[in-house]
Structure 1
Amino acid sequence: MITSFFNKSKPVNFVIVFLITLLAFIVAKTHMGYDAITGGFLFKQVLLLLVAYSSILLLNFVVGKNSLSKKNHYELLLFSLFFLTIVETTNQAEVLLANFFVLLALRRLLSVRSQRELKKKYFDAAFWIAVASLFYFWAILFFVLILASLVLYSDNNIRHWVVPFLGVTSVFVISVAASVIFYGGFFNVFDLSLQVDFDFSKYNSTKFLIAITLLLSFGLWSLFFYVRNIKQKKKSNRATLKTVVLAVVIGFVIVLLTPNKNGSEFLFLFAPLSVVVSNYIESISEKWFREVFLGVLIIVPFALLML
């Protein structure tokens, strides 16, 4: 029943996903315990909510445009449920913006399979990843996706290898100019902190442990089948699917490395993991198991609200 409802593209699905995302924002802000809610605060939260929802819609566009799954809205639902699972992902404006720009880069990168306007696509992807790193430094790791794409498509054109670095250089030059104009220094706009932190004690709470266990267990289980099924896909689609897998790995690496482990870092996992898990749900032949699998992913985030 649950899977059949989201198995087809319906306008009501977008409303449900928006309400789940909105609930995640409300819960997160309630837990932060603000003394006074000002107009400026509300305006900022509305903008961030729009960024979060735009990220979900952007993922839906990328999935549909590149045939990453069948025509359904599982990835929409999963992305919003992941927001509700770890509501802390809605608290950091920098992370929300960085993730949105990473998705813009992913959109351009996955379209490389058409083998058209490659220089423009590689430049755009590098440009958006560089912009994302201005908001959250470790987002720069997604630059690896561009290099991996060049390898996966066996691109021996030297100009295509140079173009991504030009994209990053463009952002650097523009940022330096803005820094001089607005801050009076060359590098004031940059976050040059290369600190890493492997202290995971901040996750040592019942709510975090359940949420992380849900993401990792369901994610890894789905990823195993996703990787195994890549060989069964058309050869033209394999590079795209491998890019999604690498995006999951990079998102996980960011979680491991980031020095500010407050939960928001898991946001970089949400988009690629939504694609992987939705593909697994589509592949489940037993209807009862498919219902239970998706049912758990729906029930647990709402149950965590009680903790």
Structure 2
Amino acid sequence: MLVFYIAANLKKGFVIEYASVLLLIAGFVIYVLYMPVLNLITQKNDLTLKSTNTILLFAFLTAILPNSLTDIGILVANLFLILGIRSVLTLGSGKHIKATILDASLCIGIASLAYFWSIAFISILFLGILYFEPKNYRNWVIPIIGLMIVYILTNCFTLVFYDSFFEINNYMNAVSFSFENYLTKDSIFSSGVLIICVVFFFSMYITKFKRKPAKTKPVVNLILMQLLVGLIIVIIAPEKNTSEMIFIAGPLAIIGTTYLELDYNELVKEINIWVFLLIPFIALLF
């Protein structure tokens, strides 16, 4: 992980300055924090077997997206989204429902400050409410309250430090359906590998989906929804440089773990793992 993170930053060009070093360290800490949270999500919800395969796949998927590892905004947004999704999935426990909904909405709201289209993941929170606690009308209002809290606190921050209100126009991003950037030398390999992974892992996951216990299927549906929302963000992102693809890395790592857990020859497993380890190094050549 450290090797890929440093390599991505060196490839982009790194100037040794105090602020740059702090951002580099902060970015790596955020990147590392993804791993235990993802592992917690998979283990608590019985989505995978007890292994580090999800972490391995996530490291692989993010390593082939060097632009995401050099964008502190994307890293922050994705961290809060993962935390928010974790809260959504815990709704299934039936404990502290309102606090959990508020926590998830706050995380998604904060993520949207770092990357606007992260706000689309609020749909997963509403879907979680629909699955686990739809009858209490207050639950449907809490996400809006959470987003309003983030907006109010952001206004307080900008008033204190910039002596101005938070401008919603500067916050919102446009929509773009231009995919020319994905066809450039720097992006075509990463986007191509990720598309192949999405198609392959998703098809394998759907095959195994029927075997999942009924109690875990709502959680599985939420993970699939997370992948879908991530793909939509990739499609509409205004500046497509593959960094936005990190939003599908988390759910795709969980889905892809299903493939690694299939019963097949040990040699095949070893080959798969080596492929996952070597492809990121190939990505650095582009």
TM-score (norm 1): 0.87
Instruction: Give the deviation of 1:287 after TM superposition.
Output: 3.4
Identical-pair percentage: 25
Residue 270, structure 1, aligned to residue 249, structure 2? yes
Q: Aligned Cα RMSD in Å? A: 1.8
Match of 1:77 among 35, 38, 56: 56
Structure 1 unaligned regions, length at least 5: 1-20
| Equivalence map 1:176-191=2 (5 Å) | 176-188=155-167, 191=170
SS across alignment from 2:171: coil
Match of residue 300 from structure 1: 279
Distance 1:196 1:233 in 2: 37
Match of residue 9 from structure 2: 29
Match of 1:255 among 234, 251, 273: 234
* Number of equivalent positions: 286
| Equivalence map 1:28-177=2 (5 Å) | 28-34=8-14, 36-153=15-132, 155-177=134-156
Counterpart amino acid of residue 114 in structure 2: F
Alpha carbons of structure 1 residues 194 and 37: separation in structure 2 relative to 1, 3 Å: closer
Distance 2:69 2:103 in 1: 26
Summarize deviations over 1:56-90 as a string: whole Å, max 9, x none.
Answer: 22111222222221000011111111222111111
Instruction: Give the deviation of 1:115 after TM superposition.
Output: 1.3
Summarize deviations over 1:223-249 as a string: whole Å, max 9, x none.
Answer: 123234333211111000110001111
Distance 2:220 2:182 in 1: 31
Summarize deviations over 1:30-61 as a string: whole Å, max 9, x none.
Answer: 22234x41233212201110011111221112
Q: Contact 2:58–2:249 at 8 Å: present in 1 too?
A: yes
Residue 290, structure 1, aligned to residue 269, structure 2? yes
Distance 2:10 2:100 in 1: 41
Q: Contact 1:113–1:237 at 8 Å: present in 2 too?
A: no
Q: Contact 1:179–1:188 at 8 Å: present in 2 too?
A: no
Counterpart amino acid of residue 89 in structure 2: L
Match of residue 230 from structure 1: 209
Distance 2:185 2:12 in 1: 18
Distance 2:186 2:239 in 1: 18
